[in-house]
Amino acid sequence: MIRKKIVAGNWKMHTDLKEALALASEIIDEIREESPHVILFPPYPYARTIFRLLNDQSPIKLGAQNVHHEKYGAFTGEVSAPMLKSIGVDYVIVGHSERRAYFGETDDLLLEKMNTVLDNDMTPVYCCGEPLEEREAGTHEIYIRQQLEKSVLRLSPDRLEKLIIAYEPVWAIGTGKTASPEQAQSMHAFIRDTIANHFTESESEMIPILYGGSVKPGNAKEIFNQKDVDGGLIGGASLSPEQFTAIIKSFS
């Protein structure tokens, strides 16, 4: 089964408008037809402007870093899935570890968010990953299985074809510590098996699983070469056009 290869850039709460446009333009200039699928996750205020820079044929797609689980209503300051869809967003990150840690997002809520994203014909990029204590205690697989049981495994099977998963060990995010290619492969295979055991092997085989956590030009190739790693969700290095495009070119 040939799964989509994807490199996604999560800009988090960085850049002003001018910087965001410059960054997007430099990335657009480097992307070729044969490049993997590229998704940019800029801050909300620049999403529409960046969408206008991309043309329909562009292999670069627009994503949002978060969404509210309700479709509309009196939720001051929040952004809904229909709003995102209406400005050209195709992908939404759901359950980044920063949202879990700083905004108290639970897997029950994340299941609702995934369903709202799917109801609006967009693709959720569901993030899972264990904290350092779980890795050190050797309980990382149990931890990830629990995250999946409360979220992805409760989706209806017909929704899986639009799902992307990102495995992002919390201890590797923004720390400069990367999971080794073997650690990444072993967790990606574990996630795929867990999904196959609950649904079917063919359903599990079609889900792209991205690795995230201190991916840089120097380690991307080895990580992306692993059998169950279908690309990366890149934070820090996605703010540098040189580094991000070098990571995109690591798929060769």
CA angle 139, 143, 147 (to 5 degrees): 170
* Distance (Å) of CA 208 to CA 4, 69, 156: 6, 23, 18
CA distance 47 to 52: 9
Encoded amino acid at 23, one letter:
L
Residue 239 touching ligand PGA (CB under 6 A): no
Residues 59-98 that bind ligand PGA (CB under 6 A): none
Q: How far is the CB of 184 from ligand PGA (least distance, A)?
A: 13
Q: How far is the CB of 235 from ligand PGA (least distance, A)?
A: 2
Classified as helix, coil or strand, 250 is coil
Catalytic, out of 105, 130, 134, 168: 168
Q: Both tokens of residue 141?
A: 């697989």
Q: Is 168 a catalytic residue?
A: yes
Q: For ligand PGA, which stretch binds (CB under 6 A), given 22-30, 130-138, 190-198, 227-235?
A: 227-235
Q: How far is the CB of 127 from ligand PGA (least distance, A)?
A: 7
CA distance 162 to 167: 17
DSSP 148-202: HHHTGGGS-GGGGGG-EEEE--GGGTTSS----HHHHHHHHHHHHHHHHHHS-HH
DSSP 52-68: HHS-TT-SEEEEES---
Binding track over 35-54 against ligand PGA, x by CB under 6 A: --------------------
* Phi, psi dihedral angles at 248 (to 5 degrees): -60, -40
Q: How far is the CB of 93 from ligand PGA (least distance, A)?
A: 8
Query: For residues 183 and 214, which CB has a smaller minimum distance to ligand PGA in the complex?
Result: 214
Residues 84, 164, 233, 247: which binds ligand PGA (CB under 6 A)?
233
Residues 8-37 that bind ligand PGA (CB under 6 A): 10
- Count of chain residues binding ligand PGA (CB under 6 A): 13
Q: Is 98 a catalytic residue?
A: no
Catalytic, out of 96, 130, 140, 188: 96
| Active site residue ranges | 96, 168
- Which residues in this chain contact ligand PGA in the complex, by CB under 6 A? 10, 168, 173-174, 212-215, 233-237
